[in-house]
Amino acid sequence: MPIFPTLFPGTLWQTNVTVIATIFLTGLIVFVVLRVGLRRMDMRRPRGLQNFIEWAAEFTTNMARETTPTEQTTNFVLPLAFVMLLFLFVANWLGLIATVTVHFNPNIHIWGLTPSDLANSKGDVELFDSPTSNMSMALGLAVMVWIISHARGLRHPKQWLKHFYSPSPLAVIEEITNPLTHGMRLYGNIFAGEALLSIMLRAPFAFHWLPWQLPLIVVWLLYSCFIASIQAYVFTILMCLYVGNKSFEGHANH
Amino acid sequence: MGSVFQFGTFIFSIISFLIVFLIIQRFAFKPLAKMLEQRRKHVESQIADAEKSREEAASLLAEQRKLLEEARKEAKNLLDAARVRADEQAREILQRAEEEASRILEQNRAAIVRERDEALAAVTNRVAELSVELTAKLLHNHVSPELHKEMVDEAEKRLGELVC
């Protein structure tokens, strides 16, 4: 069980610093890529990276359009969906590209970790990982989407109240299961991929020289890359869907 | 510890993501969206313009075709009219020429007749005179001037009857 540098240890506000740092790093990567791609933004002759960014924007727009009832909702959710898609794509790939672990003598107090924590993880402290392979972070994103969707639903309070019992009162259960599965799905997929990778990487060679796990690692790495991309897409499309479901501005489908 | 729920990580993740989102949205997504919107409008207006100018071209073409047709018809009319008039004129000229020719012919004929008459008259006179002179010579001046005149008149008359 890896451990992380921790802020406010032992309190309610105990915070994983690696996750927060990698969130900002991911944001920085996305921001820099976008700014570089749009450096010489040209309406008439898009080229190079601008083409890719426009394709991503187009892709997100189509996705939002298909999952939301009105053009108004599409425009509302579009910036969030665009940023979320790129953010999660980069975030999910981070841990596949590299993880950084430092080893400490498990007798010291450092970065908010006690010697017993260090002893539990054999002195390994992870400094770099996918932020989405942290359950709290993935659930945080899901709950944020949940709050945004309800905030939008509350623009029409009567319909918002009605939708809890109107088709069936079971909809209330969805209010708990939706954000939970939304976040856990992302966390589970990314965490599983990275966990298996790290286990295989740490496994000893057969007869001390035969790297039997190498082909497995390659296969699993490719599969994890695929899963990382798919999960970014799935999380984003579900976000559009949840926000769209709570938008009650008439269901004039376009 | 990644698989244990931490409230602090949860809250700070949301806050961090929102900060990242707002920055990216403000400084990267907005210009992109603006540009895409601008392009959409541009393309739309270009298409509208193209449609309008195509319609215009079609109507202009129709108008031109109509004008051409009219011009052709008018030219044909003019040509027909000109041909008719030319025919008429030719006929008139021909007629006038024929009239002139016949008039000249008539004149000439009259002139010939007159000249012949004149010549005949002159010849008759001369013959009468000669005959009288001859007769006078034959008669050895036995003829008075009165008788001479009478005889000339007689001869002329007879000659005239003879000739005519």
- Strand spans (E) along chain A: 6-7, 15-16, 100-103, 124-128
Residue A82 to residue B10, Cβ atoms within 8 A: no
- Note whether A132 and A10 are within 8 A (CB): no
Indicate whether A119 pLDDT > 90.
Answer: no
Mean pLDDT for chain B overall:
88
Distance CA B82, CA A2 (A): 110
Give per-residue pLDDT as tens, B15-54: 999 999 999 999 988 988 888 888 899 999 999 999 999 9
Within a 13 Å sphere around the CA of A59, how many CA atoms are in the beta-carbon half? 14
pTM check: above 0.95: no
Which residues does residue A6 pair with via DSSP β-bridges, in sequence order? A16
Q: Which residues 11-70 on chain B approach chain A with CB closer than 8 angstroms?
A: 11-14, 16-21, 23-25, 27-33, 35-36, 38-39, 42
Give per-residue pLDDT as tens, A170-218: 878 888 999 999 999 999 999 998 888 888 888 888 787 888 888 888 9
Longest pairwise C-alpha distance within chain B: 193
Indicate whether B3 pLDDT > 80.
Answer: no
Indicate whether A116 pLDDT > 80.
Answer: no
Domain positions in chain A are 6-98+132-245
Per CB-CB distance under 8 Å, the chain A contacts of B9 are: 14-16, 19-20, 134, 136-137, 140
Contacts 24+ apart (CB under 8 A), A41-46: A41/B31, A41/B32, A41/B35, A43/B35, A43/B38, A43/B39, A43/B42
Q: Among B9, B31, B35, whose Cβ lies nearest the Cβ of A136?
A: B9
Q: Among B2, B11, B28, whose Cβ lies nearest the Cβ of A31?
A: B28
CB contact set of A174 (below 8 Å; sequence gap of 6+): none
Give per-residue pLDDT as tens, A43-56: 777 778 888 888 99
- Tokens at A6, concatenated: 């921790």
Per CB-CB distance under 8 Å, the chain B contacts of A136 are: 5-7, 9-10, 13
Better-scored residue on pLDDT, A164 or B30: B30
Q: Name the percent of chain B lying above pLDDT 90.
A: 56
What would the mean pLDDT of B109-125 be, rounded to a whole number?
A: 89
Residue B9 to residue A11, Cβ atoms within 8 A: no
Per CB-CB distance under 8 Å, the chain B contacts of A20 are: 9, 12-13, 16
Backbone phi, then psi, for A39, in 5-degree steps?
-60, -50
Mean pLDDT for chain A overall:
86
Q: Name the percent of chain A lying above pLDDT 70.
A: 96
Residue B8 to residue A15, Cβ atoms within 8 A: yes
Per CB-CB distance under 8 Å, the chain A contacts of B2 are: 2, 4, 16, 129, 133-135, 191
Under the banding of pLDDT at 50, 70 and 90, the label for residue A254 is very low
Of B150, B160, B158, B151, nearest to B132 by C-alpha is B151
Give the number of residues written for chain A. Answer: 254
In three-state form (DSSP H/G/I as H, E/B as E, the rest C), the secondary structure along B119-142 is HHHHHHHHHHHHHHHHHHHHHCCC
Residue B17 to residue A87, Cβ atoms within 8 A: yes
